[in-house]
Structure 1
């Protein structure tokens, strides 16, 4: 079987089983088993797969049909132009979360200190936000917390791979509790989906991603409320908190911020789809 045939057949099988973007996903699986880049796949269509590669591709396609996310199958996901190792111990980084990194870098560019900037990534998961910031802010000091030791194992792998272990300190614990000092910038992508809405999500999420990374409790804002209640005790004067939120949560969060922080200075920023995705709170 040639590369072109393998790509066409795999895409057809995936599409027939209700997998969106079947051609892209088929190409991803084919690239994984052949160790070829997308460019090589398209420029060498007559290249023949060996028997082992054909068998491996069939196995991966079957896993994807069973709704296992492609990122878990190939063990990596790109985020902010950076390649990250991921597996079922962590939530798969989403493109919309890149807005958090953009806004964090925007804040740091206008902040002038006579010492390294202190940043905390809360609920770090695979470490995508922390590593992205560390690579773009080499003089910063970053804490990355997570309640899950399994997630921190994955984050450590990514810190080591990208050689930022000297800039990122991984801490196990609930939200801000493990932080050893006040910070200038808090960045958090916490679970914000209501428990009652989990059943409406795709099988890729409900069957494979860690529930603790998506379940925001009864209101969807349980962890965000806890974070807001802890923030004043952990953030420096003129500091900033950046929070990712879900669609249509801005009104409820507006009330929550005022309840927890009083007359706080905050604003919402929309993502590329027009969804209010990040709230920035200044202190």
Structure 2
């Protein structure tokens, strides 16, 4: 069968689960990953065909996609801030909103005096996408990442090697941490922040397949990670050190109030591309 014909069949079979645009995007992601063919290649050569063995592979993708398994997990990788990252069921799939957080940090810190090392800590690093992207784009950055999941740390270490960065990753439960081992110029975190009451808003492909450990917090203490990390930051950020968070879109005001009560300065709440409260930054001032 010609690939162009199969494309029509592929999109039709996925139509009960995804809209046509998304199904088509899946088709071209698989086509490029498995056959090194792009959309333009297919447009320029309508006679390209699949072999019988190809159909076995494609049908297996169809089966899993009908279960709404994330395409990133099926391919074992995703793109984030211009880099390729391995992803699996042990780590969250990086989102465009998190790229905005990374962009914010880079814009504010990539042009600082390059003769001075900037020490950065990423808490709850997962795949390592934030830590590695910062290491690649801030020339004088010395970056560390911690996570409570051993398998997540193993994934992050592979991503650091594949992206040729020297990020140091460590297994650590931040909620059980009394003090960080050294001081930092920047602490960043995209911690669990989805309340159980919000589960009904979560798509099946996220709810059924992405790690709940990295997603959900108790409804009665939704800011537990922010409070803990902010507390550690007060002691382990250098003077004028910066703290950055990705946040729950419904808890922007509450997160800002938490930081205000803890005497952080220069608090800035920002919206994401979807116009939701999504990230916040502040500074610690240790001088009168």
Counterpart residue number, 2:162: 161
Question: Which residue, 240, 243, 246 being the options, matches 2:242?
Answer: 240
* Deviations 1:45-64, CA, capped at 9 Å, x for gaps: 32111111111101101101
Please identify runs of 4+ aligned residues in structure 1 that moved more than 6 A.
none
Question: Which residue, 220, 223, 226 being the options, matches 2:222?
Answer: 220
SS in 2 for 1:232: helix
Q: CA deviation at 1:195?
A: 2.1
Contact 2:17 2:68 survives alignment (8 Å): no
Aligned ranges for residues 78-117 of structure 1 at < 5 Å? 78-109=79-110, 111-112=112-113, 114-117=115-118
Counterpart residue number, 2:7: 7
Question: How many residues of Structure 1 are paired with residues of Structure 2 in the alignment?
Answer: 280
1:188 correspondence with 2:205: no
Contact 1:33 1:53 survives alignment (8 Å): no
SS in 1 for 2:15: helix
* Deviations 1:214-241, CA, capped at 9 Å, x for gaps: 0122243221222112211111111101
1:126 correspondence with 2:127: yes
* 1: CA distance, partners of 2:140 / 2:264: 33
Q: CA deviation at 1:279?
A: 0.4
TM-score normalised by structure 1 residue count: 0.92
SS in 2 for 1:16: coil
* 2: CA distance, partners of 1:163 / 1:263: 35
TM-score normalised by structure 2 residue count: 0.91
Contact 1:171 1:179 survives alignment (8 Å): no
Please identify, of 113-122 and 206-215, the stretch whose mean Cα deviation from structure 2 is larger. 113-122
Q: CA deviation at 1:38?
A: 3.5
Counterpart residue number, 1:28: 29
Change (3 A) 1:187 1:45: farther
* Deviations 1:163-220, CA, capped at 9 Å, x for gaps: 11xx311011023848431000111111110023224411111110000110122243
Contact 1:143 1:170 survives alignment (8 Å): yes
Structure 2: segments with no counterpart, 5+ residues: none
1:64 correspondence with 2:65: yes
Contact 1:123 1:145 survives alignment (8 Å): yes
Q: CA deviation at 1:110?
A: 5.5
Contact 2:180 2:232 survives alignment (8 Å): no
Contact 2:115 2:140 survives alignment (8 Å): no
Q: CA deviation at 1:114?
A: 4.7
Contact 1:67 1:203 survives alignment (8 Å): yes
* 2: CA distance, partners of 1:121 / 1:264: 20
**For the aligned residues, what is the CA RMSD?**
1.9
* 1: CA distance, partners of 2:86 / 2:64: 19
